[in-house]
Structure 1
Amino acid sequence: MSDSSTIVRLQGLQNLYAQGFQSAFIDRAIQQVIATEADNTEAELRRLRQKLEHYEQRYHMTSADFYSRFRTSELGADIDVVEWSIFYDLYQGVQKRLHELHTLL
């Protein structure tokens, strides 16, 4: 199923609900989908956190401090620096997704 067909289906459900339609089955199913996705996202966040901790211990600085220095080009562009920055970007994106999922629970 493509992203666009999922969006169309969700918009269709939104329209039905806006017109007064109710379904306990759909409510439970959506709640379960969101909860499962939140669990999967938390696991992904833990994996990324472990990768960040590896670099933090190796270079004796937090990822936030590293990223500030990286963005001002203080740290160069060796492979560790590039990988760390990618993992930090991913981590921030996953944190945001998890926050959004939790607001839906």
Structure 2
Amino acid sequence: MAKKQEIDTRHYDVILSPHITEKSTLLSEHNGVVFKVSNDATKPQIKEAVEALFDRKVKSVNTIVSKGKTKRWKGKPYKRTDAKKAIVTLVEGQEPIDVTSGI
């Protein structure tokens, strides 16, 4: 197990929710977990938050920023918000994170 870190409220501001899709569940077979994260979160902050909240050792963090689309509703244009996702890979031998259970 990873070294137990003190859980801080800022860790909950970094990781917003798990991103559960068919592709993200396939990643769990390869020690990967996908989270929706704050738009201004950095890779070291995400790594620290996952290690503190879930008590697992993180191997790597990859981030994806999907830009919001411009859409129209009743003839008026609007823009969907940008979203940032983090693909967190755990160290081999670590127990996978169960995102269906609460913290």
Pick the TM interval, shorter chain: under 0.3
More helix by share: 1
- Higher fraction of strand: 2
Structure 1 length-normalised TM: 0.23
Higher RCO (Cα < 8 Å, 6 or more apart) = 1
TM-score under structure 2 length normalisation: 0.24
Larger radius of gyration: 1
